[in-house]
Amino acid sequence: MTLADLAAAPGPASELVLAEEAATPVERARLLEGLRGRLREMRASIDRGLVSDAKSRTGMVGWNAKTLWNAEDALRAPLLQRVQAYAMAVNEENARMGRIVAAPTAGSAGTLPGALLGVADHLGLDEDRLLGPLALAGGIGQVISQSMFIAGSTGGCQAEIGSSAAMAAAAVTEAMGGDAAASVHAAAMALMNTIGLVCDPVGGYVEVPCVSRNAFYSVHAVASAQLALAGVTSPIPPDEVVLAMASVGRLLPPELRETGEGGIADTPTGRRIALEMAR
C-alpha cells in the first residue's frame, strides 16, 4: 500500500486500509471493535489527564492540561483550547506513567486523540463516525513505517510527532467528510511541515518539549485538515514527502535523536535538570 493507492481510493481512504487489514467480515468486525477499544482508551486517558495535576517523575510537567482546560478562553477559540488541552492531557498521563494508547508512539500519543477527539467533541460527532478515520490514521502510520522506523532514536521527532500529525490530519479530514485524496494530502502537508523536527527531550524524559509539542502538532494537524478540506493539496506527491522525511532522519546526528544531548536538552537549564534527576 502506498499513499498514492490510498489517495486514489474510490470511497473514503479508510475503506482501503480496512480491506487490506481484514479479509473477511468477521475480521473486519473484530478490527473495528479493536479500534473502538483504542478510541475509548484514548478518551479515558484524556478524562484522567484533564483533571489531574499530579507531577511527572521529574516534576517538569503534570498540570498543564488541567490549567489550560480551566483557563479563560482568552482568544475565543474553543476548538484550539480543547484540542491542545486534550493532547497535553494524554501526554501528561504518559509522563506520570499512566495508561495511554501509543499512536504511533507514547511520546506522540496526544496528537491524534487531541486533534480527532477534540474536533469530534467540538462539533458533536459520535464515536461510530470516528472508527474509519482512526483506521485511516493507522494506515498512514503503516505506510510511513515502510520507509523508516517510527522512533525518535532513529528518525528524530519528525518520525514520531511528524507521523502522529500526519495520521491525525488525515483522520480529521476524513471525519469531516473529506475524500480520499484530500485526506492523504492533509497527511502529506502535515508531514512536509514537520520535516527536520529533532528529538531533544530534557534529561531523556518524555516531558519537555514532548508535552507541549503534542499540543502544537495536534493544532498543526487540524490546520492541515482545514487546508485540505478547502482543496489545498501538496504539489509534491505524498509518497515522496515520506521519503524526504526518511532521508532527513538518516542525516540527523545522534545528538538529535533521543539521546538527550542536543537541542532543548542541551541548554544550560536542560543539562542542570538532567544532572539533578540523575542523582
Q: Exposed, middle or buried: residue 102 (CB in 10 Å: 0-12, 13-18, 19+)?
A: middle
Which CB atom, from 73 or from 269, has the smaller least distance to other proteins? 269
Whether the ω angle into residue 104 lies within 30 degrees of 0, i.e. cis, is: yes
Per CB under 8 A, the segment of 63-71, 73-81, 129-137, 228-236 that binds other proteins is 129-137
Among 3, 48, 114, 246, binds other proteins (CB under 8 A): 48
Asked if residue 244 lies in contact with residue 155, where contact means CB atoms within 8 angstroms, the answer is: no
Residue 169 interacting entry, from ligand SF4, other proteins, none, C-beta within 5 to 8 Å by type: none
Which CB atom, from 100 or from 180, has the smaller least distance to other proteins? 100
Q: Exposed, middle or buried: residue 24 (CB in 10 Å: 0-12, 13-18, 19+)?
A: exposed
Residue whose cell numbers read 469531516:
176
Among 100, 188, 221, 227, binds other proteins (CB under 8 A): 100
Radius of gyration of the chain (CA): 18
Instruction: Report the nearest approach of other proteins to the CB of residue 232 (Å).
Output: 26
Instruction: Report the nearest approach of other proteins to the CB of residue 159 (Å).
Output: 8
Q: Exposed, middle or buried: residue 62 (CB in 10 Å: 0-12, 13-18, 19+)?
A: buried
239 sits near other proteins (criterion: CB under 8 A): no
Between the CA of residue 244 and those of 103, 144, 181, 191, 231, what are the distances in Å?
Answer: 21, 11, 20, 10, 23
Which CB atom, from 103 or from 131, has the smaller least distance to ligand SF4? 103
Residue 157 interacting entry, from ligand SF4, other proteins, none, C-beta within 5 to 8 Å by type: ligand SF4
56: nearest Cα among 121, 8, 123, 107: 107
Instruction: Report the nearest approach of ligand SF4 to the CB of residue 151 (Å).
Output: 8
Residue 88 interacting entry, from ligand SF4, other proteins, none, C-beta within 5 to 8 Å by type: none
221: nearest Cα among 174, 151, 181, 278: 174
Which CB atom, from 87 or from 182, has the smaller least distance to ligand SF4? 87
Instruction: Report the nearest approach of other proteins to the CB of residue 35 (Å).
Output: 7
Q: Which amino acid is at 245?
A: M
Residue 161 interacting entry, from other proteins, ligand SF4, none, C-beta within 5 to 8 Å by type: ligand SF4
Residues that bind ligand SF4 (CB under 6 A): 107-108, 152, 157, 160-161, 199-201, 206, 209-210, 213, 258
Could you give the CA distance from residue 172 to residue 189 in angstroms, rounded to a whole number? 13
Binding residues vs other proteins (CB under 8 A): 17, 21, 30-31, 33-38, 40-41, 44-45, 48, 54-58, 62, 93-107, 109, 112, 134-135, 137-139, 141-142, 145, 149-154, 159, 167, 201, 203-207, 254, 257-261, 277-278
